[in-house]
Amino acid sequence: MANALYKKIQTFYDDSSGLWEQIWGEHMHHGYYGSDGRQRKDRRQAQIDLIDECLGWAGVTQAANILDCGCGIGGSALELATRFGAEVTGITLSPVQAQRATERAAIANLAGDLMPRATFQVADALDMPFDDQSFDLVWSMESGEHMPDKVAFLQECYRVLKPGGKLLMATWCHRPVSSLAGPLTWLEQQQLSWIYQVYGLPYVIALPDYEAIAQNCGFTQLAAADWSLAVAPFWDEVIASALTPAGIAGLLKAGPGTLQGALALGPMRQGLQSGLIRYGLICAVR
């Protein structure tokens, strides 16, 4: 199951990353539009603001060795390397992304034979090729939803963190099922299944479930937040960009997987608006 899923994720990002960079730039994640989602701003600035807000919320003011799990084409990794003067390692399942991130690090003078500050490689986040206690910050920006084993992922994050190191994770979730709304309905499950199929997601879980997993892994000082309102306008922006001449031409050129991903933009937006899909943050200390 994992091999087929990983191949699907790799193919999706191999095919779509170039178009995303062309239309949106280097950051392959949501933007932040104020705590209530009502601030209007440039879409790329909103993505930088999300990084700022996440770091501020988690109280991260410095880091020397950072792991970026699900690094995309290096947007967050290069930002963090520059901001903290840190050594950042990014991992992804996509060789295309790893290569492009490496190229962008060289352009930013953050790569070199003597002292690289940002390096990227293809690796499985459930079986990381790093020694125990290697990093003081593990950054996971919208990659947890791709993990076929959420427990194993958080266990690996715990393993590679130094004592006192932090996990900062932003991920897609579904609504809690312990509320008055009760278990997911059949229609909700069908909507999620469609999104899973398109974006290469095995499943998502509720934010309280992530908290329980992190606690069972041994993490302490847990904090969690739901930023669904703050990021919701992102999907309107993506839909608008997809409907431009450049967006339509790029989608047709990128292939059926990317085009299918565009068709799922509406269900994603509707899922956030209805409260089915949530945008969750977790911060925890080893």
Domain boundaries, the chain: 2-285
pLDDT score of 25 more than 90: no
State the DSSP code for 145: G
What residue has token string 């302490």? 220
- Residue pair 73/48 in contact (Cβ under 8 Å)? The answer is no
Higher pLDDT, 267 or 286: 286
For 183, the token pair is 């278990």
User: pLDDT tens across 153-199, in order?
Assistant: 999 999 999 999 999 999 999 999 987 889 999 999 999 998 998 88
Q: Which CATH architecture has domain 2-285?
A: 3-Layer(aba) Sandwich (3.40)
pLDDT score of 87 more than 90: yes
So what's the pLDDT on residue 115? Answer: 64
Distance CA 22, CA 4 (A): 28
User: pLDDT tens across 251-285, in order?
Assistant: 667 666 665 666 667 788 899 999 999 999 999 99
Beta strand pairing status for 135-141 and 161-174? parallel
* Angle of the 265-274 helix axis to the 186-199 helix axis, nearest 10: 140
Distance CA 171, CA 70 (A): 11
Q: SS3 helix, strand, coil % of the chain, rounded to 5? A: 50, 20, 30
Full-model pTM: 0.93
